[in-house]
A and B are shown apart, each in its own frame.
Chain A
Amino acid sequence: MKIGVLAVQGAFIEHKKIIEDLGAECAEIRQKKDLEDIDGIILPGGESTVQGKLLRQLDMFDTIRSKILEGLPVLATCAGLILLAKDIDSGEKSHLGTLPVTVRRNAYGRQLGSFKATGDVGKIADFPEVFIRAPYITETSEDVSVLATVDSKIVGVRYKNQIGLAFHPEMTQDYRIHEEFLRLIS
């Protein structure tokens, strides 16, 4: 099994280490040719404006989008969730738009609003959730299942082959979400 992790900007090494620790192959996606023969893709945290721009400039945007629409499993964290979201509530241009939710960027404010919480993520109990200048989800379409909430705000969803999280499982030593992602693929 080969997982691609989008490596144009942000915290991609952290995801790669976990995937490799779990015994799967992991490829860094920097250019279009890197997208061949992957069985799943991770969209990591970082700055969504930068990642969205580089996806287009490096001519990967359409390929990634159609692969996801065709069913390629995707795990998206923080900036990755913003890349997936169909709408951004500030009205700025959305990116891949494959996940039918609306996100609010920097929803908790600036860095001084960053925080840690613990909560259930789907069937995974008591998961450590790290929020860094994080977004949350303000609206979802009916067929989206909510995986996690913090203070009644939606911070994790699943829709078909797409998992979107506002927090950073890659910044913890808890591998359960990545394990679940790999199980989903195999």
Chain B
Amino acid sequence: MEQTQYELNKGLAQMLKGGVIMDVTTPEQARIAQEAGACAVMALERIPADIRAAGGISRMSDPKMIKGIQEAVSIPVMAKCRIGHFVEAQVLEAIEIDYIDESEVLTPADDIYHIDKTKFKVPFVCGSRDLGEALRRIAEGASMIRTKGEPGTGDVVQAVRHIRKINSQIRKVTTLSEDELFEEAKTLQVPYDLLLYVHKNGKLPVVNFAAGGVATPADAALMMQLGAEGVFVGSGIFKSGDPAKRAAAIVQAVTNYTDAKLIAELSEDLGEAMVGINENEIKLIMEERGQ
């Protein structure tokens, strides 16, 4: 990928900031998401909660289904490919997807290598649990990062853990002297130049969203106050009682994430939230996929 394209791809992520990206499985859901104020949608066959329930192997969605969603909305459309499955990524690029999520939600296709994302023109977002994972994905060509969280659980604890960890590691890196960065780069297993960027700027070189387990307006605002630049909501919307209302409430909560009075109003009468499942009750820990 040439430098100009990478700048444009990081730029699209910048345009998504302060917004909510919603998982959708049908054109109808995509329209509901757009109408509720989603800044992009993630097209996938099954939302993470159902992937978790179904078990088995989870793969890239049917391109026809993705195209149906591309036709239904005017906002950017993202789709997931399996970790390391560069042919699924080639297919998604061929249908002109706006962003590819190389995602641990799907079953990994490669247990060692991630996709060499620098070979693509289309942008990639990847999950990370800490600064090391984030910078390794960026070195591979990711132009946007999100926390992994634990998808499909409705439990925000892992996303909180990941955003806190990454931000605390960034703060630490800014306090190191430049010669200490060489050792830190080895410890984190990341390229020195990316670590130097973090040291100088106190932030990642790309946009960082929260993802995994966000189910309520307060969850979304929590992630924003902890430093996320926007929020992915997966199962939390279409597994709830009133998806359209909950989606719109989460969008407004992300914009005004420090206004507790407004978030209180937004949280009223949203119907049932997704029931969710606790991390101690699940066998499959998706966050451990692809490090």
Contact = CB atoms under 8 A, between A and B. Distances in A.
Answer whether A and B are interacting partners: yes
B8 A46 contact: no
Interface string B89-130: 000010011110000000000000000000001110000000
Contact of B96 (A8, A31, A109, A171): A109
A30 interface: yes
Interface string A98-135: 00000001100111101110000000000000101100
Given A10-B15, A132-B11, A54 B99 contact: no
Given A9-B255, A10-B18, A111 B99 contact: yes
User: Interface of chain A, helix or strand or loop or mixed?
Assistant: loop
A12 B18 contact: yes
25 contacts: A7-B255, A8-B255, A9-B19, A9-B39, A10-B16, A10-B17, A11-B17, A14-B14, A45-B14, A45-B15, A47-B39, A47-B75, A47-B76, A50-B19, A53-B37, A58-B252, A105-B74, A109-B96, A110-B76, A110-B96, A110-B97, A111-B9, A114-B12, A115-B8, A171-B14
A115 B255 CA distance: 28
B38 interface: yes
Interface residues of B, number: 36
A141 interface: no
B19 A114 contact: no
A176 B50 CA distance: 51
Interface in B21-77: 34, 37-40, 70, 74-76
A19 interface: no
A154 interface: no
Contacts of B74: 49, 90, 92, 105-106
Interface of A: 7-14, 30-31, 45-47, 49-50, 53-54, 57-58, 78-79, 90, 92, 105-106, 109-112, 114-116, 130, 132-133, 168, 171
B256 interface: yes
B7, B15, B70, most chain A CB atoms within 10 A: B15
Interface of B: 4, 7-9, 11-12, 14-19, 34, 37-40, 70, 74-76, 93, 96-99, 121-123, 248, 251-252, 254-256, 259
A31 B256 contact: yes
A13 B254 CA distance: 15
B72 to A, nearest CB: 13
A116 B123 CA distance: 16
Contacts of A116: 4, 7-8
Contacts of B15: 10-11, 45-47, 78-79, 132-133
